[in-house]
């Protein structure tokens, strides 16, 4: 029987010439497909030598590098479960993730070894290794004596491949469990839907400019998987850097980014058609792309950005079309449900919405995760009795001049902020602020931001507002939680606006402070 391990699928798609380039780094280092296969085999052999039980977790918090991708592939090959962690996460977050996931192996950056070893050992983990950005650290040294031949572990489609922590409305993060089948079905669908297959069939080889982090769905499962299955070359930038992106774009055919990447490209006056001469596809996701950005981008480059919609729990579920014969790419919409993916809109009373009517977005299909790690109750709540996952997003199909099967997202039923493509739940931040001395209560909100789309701000209630030190709030948060979650502004007030039911009116606060980061000129 076919091996359902995602690596087996990827390996079956490697180009015939294994000595061609798989990854070129921003610094000009080259890795062939053979290098990736061999090095992931060595690391997989080392992982296998640890004698871990099937399903053991490998938690990874390292900077982006080809070796980080090798470690991911090695984990899959060894039949273990990959648990990537945002490099911005600080002590409080790491402590929670490690205790909750109980990984058997933790790989971190050399600089954070002492801190993380302590947290990992408190969570019962015995193997803590390091991986730096320049092939440094103990992981590669541990793997070096092992053979590079490794028979990829047999896995079924339903077996767990990865756990991705997503912030929760209650402030407690949930580990979304993704199976080999989830990853494979989505990657195969996108391979066709976004035209990678047709390029291959036409004898062309895509070049993906990869600037996203490797610890979220977007950079790891969408971008890297697309390149792996396409046999495409990846130009891997350690992070999104405007100058480097401008330098490498003219040699690339596909680019994926969050809206911030596109606004930053447009902020460069010299950016234009000449940078996009080889490009066939720009994709945007993880946060809403403003129609204005879409329009400006087309005017400057002649390229129509393809916006799509995904989540950690479902990978990609809806996308604007790539092939013009399927339909136009429409700004402000996320397009049509991907082939094989069911998407429906439901009213609050459980009845289906009609075209144009706003409702709750629900999804079903081979891309949808089986549940949250060790949270059966939460999992039950998030699925309907007939098996559809409640995304928490709100939208409508169709609309004026828009085909009936195109989805437009209009809001979120959950109280979520998306800053530069990262999700932030106010409840989590409010929990930390409310513990601070002198704070009566707080309300965390998202405000329009020219670079990040939305930025986090906090409104803090103090009995003595004049004497309250707002800077102390951010100062204290910085060591505990990821910097992108730390409010970029703190307003100190005597009380919060409330409705008749006593509920804090965040819409009033958002309105009051809306020009904080984007003042109107004049």
Q: How far is the CB of 257 from ligand MCA (least distance, A)?
A: 8
Q: How far is the CB of 97 from ligand MCA (least distance, A)?
A: 16
Exposure letters 420-445 (e unless 16+ CB within 10 A, then b): bbbbbbbbbbbebbeebebbeebbbb
Residue 421 sits in the site that holds ligand MCA (CB under 6 A) = yes
Among 452, 462, 487, 490, binds ligand MCA (CB under 6 A): 452
Q: How far is the CB of 414 from ligand MCA (least distance, A)?
A: 14
Half-sphere exposure (Cβ direction) of 200: Cα atoms closer than 13 Å: 18
Q: How far is the CB of 136 from ligand MCA (least distance, A)?
A: 21
Kindly report the CA angle at 25 between 20 and 27, in degrees rounded to 5? Answer: 130
Q: How far is the CB of 391 from ligand MCA (least distance, A)?
A: 11
Stretch that binds ligand MCA, among 16-24, 148-156, 214-222, 265-273 (CB under 6 A): 214-222
Over the window 274 to 293, marking each residue x when it contacts ligand MCA by CB under 6 A and - when it does not, the resulting string is -----------xx-------
Query: What are the tokens at 494?
Result: 């005597």
Distance separating alpha carbons of residues 490 and 170, to the nearest angstrom: 22
Among 288, 420, 426, 487, binds ligand MCA (CB under 6 A): 420
Compute the residue count for the chain.
522
Q: How far is the CB of 246 from ligand MCA (least distance, A)?
A: 15
Strand extents, DSSP E, 267-311: 281-284, 306-311
C-alpha 13, offset from chain centre: 24
Among 218, 248, 280, 294, binds ligand MCA (CB under 6 A): 218
Judged by CB under 6 A, the number of residues near ligand MCA is: 23
Which residue shows structure tokens 């992070």?
239
Among 106, 139, 163, 212, binds ligand MCA (CB under 6 A): 212
Query: What are the tokens at 99?
Result: 């205790």
Among 263, 367, 419, 462, binds ligand MCA (CB under 6 A): 419
Q: How far is the CB of 311 from ligand MCA (least distance, A)?
A: 5
Residue 422 sits in the site that holds ligand MCA (CB under 6 A) = yes
Q: Where are the alpha helices (DSSP H) in 26-112?
A: 33-49, 66-77, 91-101
Residue number with CB closer to ligand MCA (260 or 301): 260
Stretch that binds ligand MCA, among 121-129, 182-190, 212-220, 366-374 (CB under 6 A): 212-220
Q: How far is the CB of 219 from ligand MCA (least distance, A)?
A: 5
On whether the CB atoms of residues 333 and 407 are closer than 8 A, the answer is yes
Q: How many other β-carbons are positioned within 10 Å of the β-carbon of residue 493?
A: 17
Residue 240 sits in the site that holds ligand MCA (CB under 6 A) = yes
Query: What are the tokens at 490?
Result: 């703190």
Cβ-based neighbours of 249, under 8 Å, separated by 6 or more: 209, 255, 275, 276, 279
Over the window 472 to 511, marking each residue x when it contacts ligand MCA by CB under 6 A and - when it does not, the resulting string is -----------xx---------------------------
Which residue shows structure tokens 């060591």?
479
Of residues 308-347, those binding ligand MCA (CB under 6 A) = 310-312
Query: What are the tokens at 435?
Result: 């513990």
Residue nearest to ligand MCA (CB): 420
3-state DSSP call for residue 117? helix
Residue number with CB closer to ligand MCA (50 or 92): 92
Distance separating alpha carbons of residues 217 and 207, to the nearest angstrom: 20
Residue number with CB closer to ligand MCA (45 or 312): 312
Q: How many other β-carbons are positioned within 10 Å of the β-carbon of residue 166?
A: 16
Residue 170 sits in the site that holds ligand MCA (CB under 6 A) = no
Over the window 172 to 211, marking each residue x when it contacts ligand MCA by CB under 6 A and - when it does not, the resulting string is ----------------------------------------
Residue number with CB closer to ligand MCA (43 or 212): 212
Half-sphere exposure (Cβ direction) of 191: Cα atoms closer than 13 Å: 23
Among 217, 265, 306, 417, binds ligand MCA (CB under 6 A): 217
Residue number with CB closer to ligand MCA (41 or 213): 213
Q: How far is the CB of 214 from ligand MCA (least distance, A)?
A: 9
Residue number with CB closer to ligand MCA (167 or 360): 167
3-state DSSP call for residue 403? coil
Nearest CA among 396, 388, 454 for reference residue 425: 454
Cβ-based neighbours of 222, under 8 Å, separated by 6 or more: 190, 256, 285, 310, 315, 316
Q: How far is the CB of 261 from ligand MCA (least distance, A)?
A: 7
Distance separating alpha carbons of residues 21 and 339, to the nearest angstrom: 31
Of residues 242-271, those binding ligand MCA (CB under 6 A) = 258, 260
Q: How far is the CB of 501 from ligand MCA (least distance, A)?
A: 32
Residue 65: beta bridge partners?
none
Q: Which residues form the interface with ligand MCA (CB under 6 A)?
A: 212-213, 216-219, 239-240, 258, 260, 285-286, 310-312, 419-422, 452, 455, 483-484
């Amino acid at each position: 029987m076919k091996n359902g391990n995602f690596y087996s699928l990827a390996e079956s798609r490697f180009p015939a010439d294994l000595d061609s380039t798989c990854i070129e780094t921003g610094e000009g280092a080259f890795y062939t497909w053979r290098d990736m296969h061999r090095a992931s085999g060595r690391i997989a052999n080392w992982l296998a030598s640890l004698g871990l039980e099937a399903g053991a977790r490998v938690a990874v918090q390292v900077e982006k590098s080809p070796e980080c991708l090798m470690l991911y592939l090695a984990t899959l090959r060894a039949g273990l479960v990959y648990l990537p962690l945002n490099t911005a996460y600080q002590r409080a977050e790491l402590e929670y993730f490690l205790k909750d996931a109980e990984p058997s192996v933790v790989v971190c950056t050399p600089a954070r070894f002492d801190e993380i070893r302590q947290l990992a050992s408190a969570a019962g983990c015995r193997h803590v290794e390091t991986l730096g950005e320049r092939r440094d650290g103990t992981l590669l040294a541990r793997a070096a004596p092992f053979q590079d031949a490794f028979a990829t572990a047999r896995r079924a489609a339903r077996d767990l491949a990865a756990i991705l922590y997503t912030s929760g409305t209650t402030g407690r993060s949930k580990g979304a469990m993704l199976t080999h089948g989830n990853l494979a079905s989505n990657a195969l669908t996108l391979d066709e839907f976004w035209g990678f297959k047709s390029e291959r069939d036409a004898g062309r080889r895509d070049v993906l400019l990869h600037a996203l982090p490797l610890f979220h769905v977007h950079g790891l499962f969408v971008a890297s998987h697309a390149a792996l299955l396409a046999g495409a070359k990846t130009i891997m930038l350690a992070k999104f850097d405007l100058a480097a992106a401008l330098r490498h774009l003219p040699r690339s055919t596909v680019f994926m980014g969050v809206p911030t990447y596109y606004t930053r490209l447009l902020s460069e006056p010299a950016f234009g058609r000449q940078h996009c001469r080889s490009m066939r596809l720009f994709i945007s996701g993880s946060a809403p792309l403003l129609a204005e950005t879409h329009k400006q981008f087309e005017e400057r480059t002649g390229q129509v950005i393809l916006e799509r919609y995904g989540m950690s729990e479902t990978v990609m579920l809806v996308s604007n079309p790539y092939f013009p014969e399927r339909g136009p790419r429409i700004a402000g919409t996320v397009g049509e449900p991907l082939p094989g993916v069911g998407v429906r809109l439901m009213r609050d009373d459980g009845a289906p919405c009609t075209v144009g009517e706003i409702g709750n977005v629900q999804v079903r299909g081979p891309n949808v995760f089986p549940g949250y790690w060790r949270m059966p109750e939460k999992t039950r709540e998030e699925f309907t009795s007939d098996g559809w996952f409640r995304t928490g997003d709100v939208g409508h199909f169709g609309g004026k001049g828009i085909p009936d099967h195109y989805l437009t997202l209009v809001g979120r039923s959950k109280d979520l902020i998306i800053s530069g493509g990262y999700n932030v739940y106010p409840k989590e931040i409010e929990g930390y602020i409310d513990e601070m001395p002198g704070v009566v209560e707080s309300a965390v909100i998202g405000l329009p931001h020219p670079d990040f789309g939305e930025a986090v701000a906090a409104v803090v209630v103090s009995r003595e507002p004049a004497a309250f030190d707002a800077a102390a709030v951010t100062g204290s948060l910085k060591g505990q939680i990821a910097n992108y979650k730390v409010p970029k502004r703190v307003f100190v007030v005597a009380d919060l606006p409330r409705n008749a039911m006593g509920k804090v009116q965040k819409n009033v606060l958002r309105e009051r402070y809306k020009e904080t980061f984007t003042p109107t000129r004049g």
